[in-house]
Amino acid sequence: MTQSAAPTVAFGIDIGGSGIKGAPVDLSTGELAAERLRIPTPSPSRPRAVAETVAELVDAFGVPGTTPVGLTFPAPIKHGVVPFIANLHQSWKGVDVPALMSEAIGRQVVAVNDADAAGVAEVAFGAARGAAGVVLVTTLGTGIGSALFVDGTLVPNTELGHLEIDGHDAEDRAASSARENEGLSWQEWAERLQRYYETVEMLFSPDLIVVGGGVSKKHEKFLPLLRTSAPLVPAALRNSAGIVGAAHLAAHGHR
Ligand code: BGC
């Protein structure tokens, strides 16, 4: 019996509220194998329109039919289906994402929550590589995403951005978008993040917390203002974490 060689490249797609990004990923290093391409998220961001944009990205790179394709989505994905959605069009609720996307691009697709994908990339190649115990990866963006690992194994769809803290949905107060929309200083935003991370620490006692999302490239502005008992470190992969994690999961299997 012949066994096919493991793929060395997979294609990752990151679906966000403002942009849909894609790139091929070198699976041995976790680096992008070509410059990523970004297409603005269609508005309104309905399933059909987003699926067409995903197909456009795959076509633009001429992704070979044998290359595994993984994509991230800004909502929980339970066995393929979106149970609720905060930051894209509400008509995504109940949609089977891999089925829709597989039909749009004519091949199998693995779909995973965006923070889970970013977390997988940080554990495989970045700031949480080799970390034992309970690791929490958070992404600060339009919302707050979370990925929880126990000795490297993901507990999917944790949704810790929607913890209710002081009567608010946590991400409404502490996401990076709250800082931008409300014109908060770094200090003011850090006070909200402090409240967020101390609540998360009380509930989960993580051994390591990784802070990702686009704003993590400015980590020196706010991480030094935060006090946590676990080490709090910036993500290593920054903007490409979702793409890399999705590609990694597409190649290595995902439930
Ligand atoms: C969603 C999460 C997502 C996070 C970051 C939240 O509003 O519920 O699923 O990971 O935003 O995009």
Q: What is the mean pLDDT of the chain?
A: 95
Question: How far is residue 168's CA from residue 9's CA, in Å, rounded to a whole number?
Answer: 42
User: What is the chain's length?
Assistant: 255
* Amino acid in position 232: L
CA of residue 114 to ligand 1 center, whole Å: 7
Span from the CA of 161 to the centroid of ligand 1 (angstroms)? 7
Query: How far is Cα of residue 153 from the mean position of the Cα atoms in its chain?
Result: 16
pLDDT tens digits, one per residue of 85-128:
999 999 999 999 999 999 999 999 999 999 999 999 999 999 99
The domain in which residue 97 lies consists of: 9-116+240-251
Q: Could you identify the atom of ligand 1 that is nearest to the CA of residue 116?
A: 10
| DSSP state letters, 140-208 | ESSSEEEEEEETTEEE----GGG-EETTEEHHHHHSHHHHHHTT--HHHHHHHHHHHHHHHHHHH--SE
181 in the same domain as 112: no
Q: Is 35 exposed, middle or buried (0-12, 13-18, 19+ CB in 10 A)?
A: exposed
Nearest one of 170, 151, 160 to 208, comparing CA atoms: 151
Give the residue, out of 142, 157, 177, 239, with the most ligand 1 atoms within 8 A of its beta carbon, to mutate for a pocket test: 142
| Same domain as 146, residue 81 | no
Same domain, 137 and 47: no
CA nearest ligand 1 atom 9, residue: 75
Structure tokens at 53: 């944009």
Tell whether 84 is covered by a domain: yes
> Does one domain contain both 56 and 108?
yes
Number of other CB atoms surrounding residue 113 within 10 Å: 26
What CATH number has the domain bearing residue 25? 3.30.420.40
Q: What is the pTM of this model?
A: 0.96
Residues 6 or more apart whose Cβ sits within 8 Å of residue 232: 197, 209, 211, 223, 226
For 192-241, how does the pLDDT look when each residue is reduced to its tens digit (9 = 90+)?
Answer: 999 999 999 999 999 999 999 999 999 999 999 999 999 999 999 988 99
Same domain, residue pair 81 and 145:
no
Same domain (yes/no): 77, 21: yes
**33 alpha carbon to ligand 1 midpoint, in Å?**
27
Q: Are 200 and 160 in contact (CB under 8 A)?
A: yes
* Residue owning the nearest CA to atom 12 of ligand 1: 74
On whether both 147 and 172 belong to a single domain, the answer is yes
Question: pLDDT (tens digit, 9 = 90+) per residue, 157-205?
Answer: 999 999 999 999 999 999 999 999 999 999 999 999 999 999 999 999 9
How does 180-200 read in b/e, with b if 16+ C-beta sit within 10 Å? eeeeeeeeebbbbbbbbbebb
Give a yes or no: residue 60 inside a domain.
yes
What's the total number of domains in the chain? 2
Give the mean model confidence (pLDDT) for residues 57-83: 96
- Together in a domain, 19 and 107: yes
Residue 124 falls within a domain, yes or no?
no
Check whether residue 145 and residue 62 sit in a common domain. no
Q: What's the pLDDT at 249?
A: 97
How many beta carbons lie within 10 A of that of residue 96, not counting itself?
16
